[in-house]
Structure 1
Protein backbone atom coordinates (compact mmCIF):
# COMPACT_ATOMS: atom_id res chain seq x y z
CA UNK A 1 0.00 0.00 0.00
CA UNK A 2 2.88 2.34 0.82
CA UNK A 3 4.39 1.78 -2.64
CA UNK A 4 1.11 2.69 -4.33
CA UNK A 5 0.70 5.79 -2.13
CA UNK A 6 4.26 7.01 -2.78
CA UNK A 7 3.92 6.31 -6.50
CA UNK A 8 0.69 8.35 -6.66
CA UNK A 9 2.26 11.14 -4.59
CA UNK A 10 5.33 11.29 -6.84
CA UNK A 11 3.17 11.28 -9.98
CA UNK A 12 0.99 14.08 -8.58
CA UNK A 13 4.01 16.22 -7.71
CA UNK A 14 5.50 15.73 -11.19
CA UNK A 15 2.19 16.57 -12.85
CA UNK A 16 1.81 19.76 -10.78
CA UNK A 17 5.40 20.73 -11.61
CA UNK A 18 4.78 20.23 -15.31
CA UNK A 19 1.61 22.35 -15.13
CA UNK A 20 3.53 25.08 -13.30
CA UNK A 21 6.26 25.03 -15.95
CA UNK A 22 3.63 25.14 -18.71
CA UNK A 23 1.91 28.12 -17.05
CA UNK A 24 5.18 30.03 -16.76
CA UNK A 25 6.32 29.27 -20.32
CA UNK A 26 3.71 31.16 -22.29
CA UNK A 27 5.40 30.09 -25.50
CA UNK A 28 8.70 28.51 -26.46
CA UNK A 29 9.80 30.65 -29.43
CA UNK A 30 8.49 33.81 -31.07
CA UNK A 31 9.39 35.60 -34.31
CA UNK A 32 8.58 39.22 -34.90
CA UNK A 33 9.43 42.83 -35.53
CA UNK A 34 11.41 45.04 -33.15
CA UNK A 35 11.31 48.84 -33.15
CA UNK A 36 13.98 50.78 -31.23
CA UNK A 37 13.09 54.44 -30.60
CA UNK A 38 14.30 57.40 -28.55
CA UNK A 39 17.15 59.88 -28.82
CA UNK A 40 18.97 59.14 -32.05
CA UNK A 41 17.78 57.16 -35.06
CA UNK A 42 14.72 54.91 -35.09
CA UNK A 43 15.74 51.33 -35.83
CA UNK A 44 13.50 48.55 -37.16
CA UNK A 45 14.12 44.88 -37.88
CA UNK A 46 13.41 41.21 -37.25
CA UNK A 47 13.80 39.55 -33.86
CA UNK A 48 13.51 36.11 -32.33
CA UNK A 49 12.89 35.24 -28.66
CA UNK A 50 13.39 31.76 -27.28
CA UNK A 51 12.63 30.50 -23.76
CA UNK A 52 15.21 28.05 -22.41
CA UNK A 53 12.91 27.24 -19.48
CA UNK A 54 10.00 28.89 -17.63
CA UNK A 55 11.81 32.15 -16.87
CA UNK A 56 15.08 32.37 -18.81
CA UNK A 57 15.05 33.54 -22.41
CA UNK A 58 17.33 34.72 -25.16
CA UNK A 59 16.45 37.36 -27.71
CA UNK A 60 18.30 38.18 -30.94
CA UNK A 61 17.62 41.02 -33.33
CA UNK A 62 18.98 42.76 -36.40
CA UNK A 63 17.86 46.39 -36.57
CA UNK A 64 18.25 48.80 -39.46
CA UNK A 65 18.22 52.62 -39.64
CA UNK A 66 19.78 55.40 -41.71
CA UNK A 67 23.39 54.31 -42.26
CA UNK A 68 23.19 52.05 -39.16
CA UNK A 69 22.81 48.30 -38.67
CA UNK A 70 22.61 46.83 -35.17
CA UNK A 71 23.17 43.18 -34.33
CA UNK A 72 22.26 42.26 -30.76
CA UNK A 73 21.54 39.41 -28.40
CA UNK A 74 20.01 39.65 -24.94
CA UNK A 75 19.42 37.40 -21.96
CA UNK A 76 16.25 38.07 -19.96
CA UNK A 77 14.70 36.81 -16.75
CA UNK A 78 10.90 36.71 -17.19
CA UNK A 79 8.24 36.45 -14.50
CA UNK A 80 4.45 36.27 -14.90
CA UNK A 81 2.40 38.88 -13.05
CA UNK A 82 -0.16 37.17 -10.81
CA UNK A 83 -3.76 37.94 -11.64
CA UNK A 84 -2.89 39.42 -15.05
CA UNK A 85 -3.35 36.57 -17.53
CA UNK A 86 -0.67 36.78 -20.22
CA UNK A 87 1.22 39.75 -18.70
CA UNK A 88 4.79 39.38 -17.47
CA UNK A 89 7.73 41.57 -16.54
CA UNK A 90 11.36 40.99 -17.44
CA UNK A 91 14.87 42.29 -16.84
CA UNK A 92 17.83 41.56 -19.04
CA UNK A 93 21.09 42.63 -20.58
CA UNK A 94 23.05 41.94 -23.72
CA UNK A 95 25.80 43.08 -26.08
CA UNK A 96 25.12 44.99 -29.29
CA UNK A 97 27.33 45.56 -32.33
CA UNK A 98 26.51 48.73 -34.24
CA UNK A 99 27.82 49.03 -37.78
CA UNK A 100 27.85 52.69 -38.81
CA UNK A 101 28.38 53.75 -42.40
CA UNK A 102 28.65 57.51 -42.77
CA UNK A 103 30.70 57.02 -45.91
CA UNK A 104 29.70 58.27 -49.33
CA UNK A 105 31.04 57.23 -52.71
CA UNK A 106 32.73 60.32 -54.14
CA UNK A 107 35.18 60.61 -57.04
CA UNK A 108 36.07 56.93 -57.10
CA UNK A 109 36.61 56.41 -53.34
CA UNK A 110 34.75 56.33 -50.04
CA UNK A 111 34.60 59.51 -47.96
CA UNK A 112 33.43 59.55 -44.39
CA UNK A 113 33.52 57.70 -41.12
CA UNK A 114 32.74 53.98 -41.13
CA UNK A 115 33.14 52.12 -37.84
CA UNK A 116 31.73 49.48 -35.53
CA UNK A 117 30.64 50.25 -31.97
CA UNK A 118 30.27 47.79 -29.11
CA UNK A 119 27.51 48.49 -26.59
CA UNK A 120 25.86 46.91 -23.57
CA UNK A 121 22.10 47.33 -23.28
CA UNK A 122 20.22 46.56 -20.08
CA UNK A 123 16.44 46.20 -20.39
CA UNK A 124 13.42 46.43 -18.09
CA UNK A 125 10.02 45.82 -19.59
CA UNK A 126 6.59 44.26 -19.89
CA UNK A 127 5.40 41.60 -22.29
CA UNK A 128 1.81 40.63 -23.03
CA UNK A 129 1.00 37.30 -24.67
CA UNK A 130 -2.61 37.21 -25.85
CA UNK A 131 -3.89 34.05 -24.12
CA UNK A 132 -6.20 33.01 -26.97
CA UNK A 133 -3.98 33.96 -29.92
CA UNK A 134 -0.40 33.29 -31.02
CA UNK A 135 0.58 36.95 -30.59
CA UNK A 136 2.76 38.76 -28.06
CA UNK A 137 3.79 42.40 -27.59
CA UNK A 138 6.50 43.98 -25.50
CA UNK A 139 7.58 47.44 -24.38
CA UNK A 140 10.79 48.13 -22.53
CA UNK A 141 13.25 50.75 -21.44
CA UNK A 142 16.54 49.77 -23.03
CA UNK A 143 19.28 52.38 -22.52
CA UNK A 144 22.34 52.30 -24.74
CA UNK A 145 25.79 52.19 -23.12
CA UNK A 146 28.35 52.53 -25.89
CA UNK A 147 31.73 51.13 -24.82
CA UNK A 148 33.79 52.09 -27.86
CA UNK A 149 34.38 54.97 -30.30
CA UNK A 150 33.19 58.06 -28.39
CA UNK A 151 31.97 56.07 -25.38
CA UNK A 152 28.71 57.43 -24.00
CA UNK A 153 25.46 56.49 -22.29
CA UNK A 154 22.06 57.17 -23.87
CA UNK A 155 19.27 56.61 -21.33
CA UNK A 156 16.35 57.67 -23.58
CA UNK A 157 15.98 54.49 -25.66
CA UNK A 158 12.92 52.22 -25.74
CA UNK A 159 11.90 49.17 -27.75
CA UNK A 160 8.55 47.90 -28.95
CA UNK A 161 8.07 44.38 -30.23
CA UNK A 162 5.34 42.57 -32.09
CA UNK A 163 5.74 38.79 -32.19
CA UNK A 164 4.08 35.69 -33.59
CA UNK A 165 4.48 32.92 -31.03
CA UNK A 166 5.37 29.33 -31.81
CA UNK A 167 5.16 26.40 -29.43
Structure 2
Protein backbone atom coordinates (compact mmCIF):
# COMPACT_ATOMS: atom_id res chain seq x y z
CA UNK A 1 0.00 0.00 0.00
CA UNK A 2 2.74 2.46 0.98
CA UNK A 3 4.86 1.46 -2.02
CA UNK A 4 1.97 2.19 -4.40
CA UNK A 5 1.34 5.51 -2.70
CA UNK A 6 5.00 6.49 -3.03
CA UNK A 7 5.05 5.58 -6.72
CA UNK A 8 1.98 7.73 -7.32
CA UNK A 9 3.58 10.56 -5.32
CA UNK A 10 6.82 10.24 -7.30
CA UNK A 11 5.14 10.44 -10.70
CA UNK A 12 2.74 13.17 -9.59
CA UNK A 13 5.67 15.26 -8.39
CA UNK A 14 7.48 14.94 -11.68
CA UNK A 15 4.31 15.58 -13.61
CA UNK A 16 3.89 18.79 -11.67
CA UNK A 17 7.52 19.75 -12.17
CA UNK A 18 7.32 19.25 -15.92
CA UNK A 19 3.97 21.04 -16.25
CA UNK A 20 5.30 24.09 -14.40
CA UNK A 21 7.62 24.69 -17.34
CA UNK A 22 5.56 23.89 -20.42
CA UNK A 23 8.01 25.33 -22.96
CA UNK A 24 11.08 23.46 -24.07
CA UNK A 25 14.25 25.01 -22.76
CA UNK A 26 17.59 24.75 -24.47
CA UNK A 27 20.17 22.95 -22.40
CA UNK A 28 23.72 24.07 -22.88
CA UNK A 29 24.55 20.63 -24.30
CA UNK A 30 21.72 20.21 -26.77
CA UNK A 31 18.57 22.15 -27.71
CA UNK A 32 15.09 20.77 -26.94
CA UNK A 33 16.35 17.57 -25.31
CA UNK A 34 15.16 18.23 -21.79
CA UNK A 35 13.98 14.81 -20.57
CA UNK A 36 16.34 11.94 -19.75
CA UNK A 37 15.18 8.51 -18.59
CA UNK A 38 17.36 5.51 -17.81
CA UNK A 39 19.17 3.48 -15.18
CA UNK A 40 21.86 4.23 -12.60
CA UNK A 41 24.21 1.55 -11.30
CA UNK A 42 25.83 2.32 -7.94
CA UNK A 43 28.95 0.99 -6.24
CA UNK A 44 27.72 1.01 -2.66
CA UNK A 45 24.98 0.12 -0.22
CA UNK A 46 23.54 3.62 -0.19
CA UNK A 47 19.79 3.97 0.42
CA UNK A 48 19.36 5.13 -3.19
CA UNK A 49 21.62 2.72 -5.06
CA UNK A 50 20.78 0.89 -8.32
CA UNK A 51 17.84 2.87 -9.62
CA UNK A 52 15.65 4.14 -12.39
CA UNK A 53 16.61 7.76 -13.05
CA UNK A 54 14.61 10.58 -14.61
CA UNK A 55 16.16 13.99 -15.17
CA UNK A 56 14.24 17.06 -16.38
CA UNK A 57 15.95 20.33 -17.25
CA UNK A 58 13.81 23.18 -15.93
CA UNK A 59 16.17 25.85 -17.29
CA UNK A 60 19.29 25.88 -19.44
CA UNK A 61 21.51 24.90 -16.50
CA UNK A 62 19.25 23.53 -13.74
CA UNK A 63 17.74 20.05 -13.65
CA UNK A 64 15.53 18.04 -11.31
CA UNK A 65 16.52 14.39 -10.99
CA UNK A 66 14.39 11.66 -9.49
CA UNK A 67 15.84 8.29 -8.52
CA UNK A 68 13.70 5.26 -7.74
CA UNK A 69 15.83 2.50 -6.24
CA UNK A 70 14.78 -0.98 -7.34
CA UNK A 71 16.97 -3.01 -4.98
CA UNK A 72 16.84 -3.46 -1.22
CA UNK A 73 16.51 -1.02 0.42
CA UNK A 74 13.93 0.53 -1.88
CA UNK A 75 14.08 4.32 -1.84
CA UNK A 76 13.03 7.46 -3.66
CA UNK A 77 15.46 10.37 -4.04
CA UNK A 78 15.03 13.81 -5.56
CA UNK A 79 17.91 16.14 -6.44
CA UNK A 80 18.21 19.68 -7.79
CA UNK A 81 21.33 19.94 -9.95
CA UNK A 82 23.30 22.84 -11.43
CA UNK A 83 25.02 22.01 -14.75
CA UNK A 84 28.00 23.84 -16.26
CA UNK A 85 29.50 23.18 -19.70
CA UNK A 86 33.20 22.25 -19.74
CA UNK A 87 34.69 23.94 -22.79
CA UNK A 88 33.32 22.98 -26.21
CA UNK A 89 33.43 19.20 -25.72
CA UNK A 90 29.77 18.90 -24.72
CA UNK A 91 30.72 17.44 -21.36
CA UNK A 92 29.07 19.12 -18.41
CA UNK A 93 29.96 18.95 -14.76
CA UNK A 94 27.18 19.19 -12.23
CA UNK A 95 26.57 19.47 -8.54
CA UNK A 96 23.42 19.35 -6.50
CA UNK A 97 21.58 18.38 -3.36
CA UNK A 98 18.33 16.80 -2.34
CA UNK A 99 16.64 14.30 -0.07
CA UNK A 100 15.61 10.67 -0.06
CA UNK A 101 13.02 8.48 1.62
CA UNK A 102 13.49 4.74 2.07
CA UNK A 103 10.36 2.61 2.00
CA UNK A 104 11.68 -0.93 2.42
CA UNK A 105 14.35 -2.48 4.59
CA UNK A 106 13.41 -0.08 7.39
CA UNK A 107 12.24 3.51 7.16
CA UNK A 108 15.02 5.88 6.18
CA UNK A 109 15.16 9.58 5.49
CA UNK A 110 18.16 11.70 4.73
CA UNK A 111 20.02 14.24 2.64
CA UNK A 112 22.03 13.50 -0.46
CA UNK A 113 24.48 15.45 -2.54
CA UNK A 114 25.78 14.89 -6.04
CA UNK A 115 28.75 15.92 -8.12
CA UNK A 116 29.67 14.46 -11.47
CA UNK A 117 30.15 14.58 -15.23
CA UNK A 118 27.33 14.40 -17.76
CA UNK A 119 27.44 13.94 -21.54
CA UNK A 120 24.62 13.95 -24.09
CA UNK A 121 25.71 12.35 -27.38
CA UNK A 122 24.95 15.02 -30.02
CA UNK A 123 23.92 12.63 -32.80
CA UNK A 124 22.11 10.02 -30.66
CA UNK A 125 19.41 10.20 -28.01
CA UNK A 126 21.83 8.95 -25.34
CA UNK A 127 23.23 10.41 -22.13
CA UNK A 128 26.07 9.07 -20.01
CA UNK A 129 26.76 10.27 -16.49
CA UNK A 130 29.35 9.45 -13.84
CA UNK A 131 28.68 10.79 -10.35
CA UNK A 132 29.49 10.70 -6.67
CA UNK A 133 26.34 10.83 -4.53
CA UNK A 134 27.06 10.70 -0.79
CA UNK A 135 24.15 10.31 1.64
CA UNK A 136 23.55 11.38 5.23
CA UNK A 137 20.93 9.19 6.90
CA UNK A 138 18.92 10.90 9.67
CA UNK A 139 16.66 8.06 10.80
CA UNK A 140 16.99 4.42 11.87
CA UNK A 141 20.72 4.83 12.34
CA UNK A 142 22.44 8.20 11.90
CA UNK A 143 25.14 7.45 9.34
CA UNK A 144 27.10 8.81 6.40
CA UNK A 145 27.60 6.84 3.17
CA UNK A 146 30.53 8.42 1.30
CA UNK A 147 31.29 5.63 -1.20
CA UNK A 148 28.32 6.07 -3.52
CA UNK A 149 29.81 6.22 -7.03
CA UNK A 150 27.37 5.73 -9.88
CA UNK A 151 27.14 5.39 -13.64
CA UNK A 152 23.95 6.29 -15.52
CA UNK A 153 22.80 5.61 -19.06
CA UNK A 154 19.70 7.49 -20.19
CA UNK A 155 17.48 7.86 -23.24
CA UNK A 156 17.14 11.56 -24.17
CA UNK A 157 13.84 12.97 -25.45
Corresponding residue pairs, total = 131
Q: Find the aligned partners of 1:91 and 1:141 in 2 and give their Cα distance.
A: 9
Structure 1 position 73 matched with structure 2 position 78: yes
Could you tell me which residue of structure 1 aligns to residue 143 of structure 2? 152
Paired position in structure 1 for 2:125? 134
Show the counterpart of 1:108. Answer: none
Aligned to 1:33: 39
Counterparts of 1:154 and 1:89, CA distance in 2:
22
Could you tell me how far apart the structure 1 residues matched to 2:156 and 2:46 are? Answer: 30
Tell me the C-alpha RMSD between the 2 structures.
1.9
Match of 1:65, SS?
coil
More strand by share: 1
Structure 1 residue aligned with 2:94: 90
Q: TM-score, normalised by structure 1?
A: 0.72
Unaligned runs of 5+ in 2: 1-24
- Partner residue in 2 for 1:121: 112
Match in the other structure for 1:4: none
Q: Between Structure 1 and Structure 2, whose CA radius of gyration is higher?
A: 1
Query: How far apart, in 2, do the equivalents of 1:36 and 1:70 lie?
Result: 13
**CA-to-aligned-CA distance 1:62-118 (integer Å, 9 cap, x gap):** 11223x10111110000111131x2100000110111233xxxxxxxxxxxxx3110
| Rounded Cα–Cα distance in structure 1 between residues aligned with 2:156 and 2:81 | 17
Aligned-residue offset at 1:41: 8.1
Q: How far, CA to CA, are the matches of 1:42 and 1:91 in structure 2?
A: 17
- State the shift of 1:43 in Å: 3.4
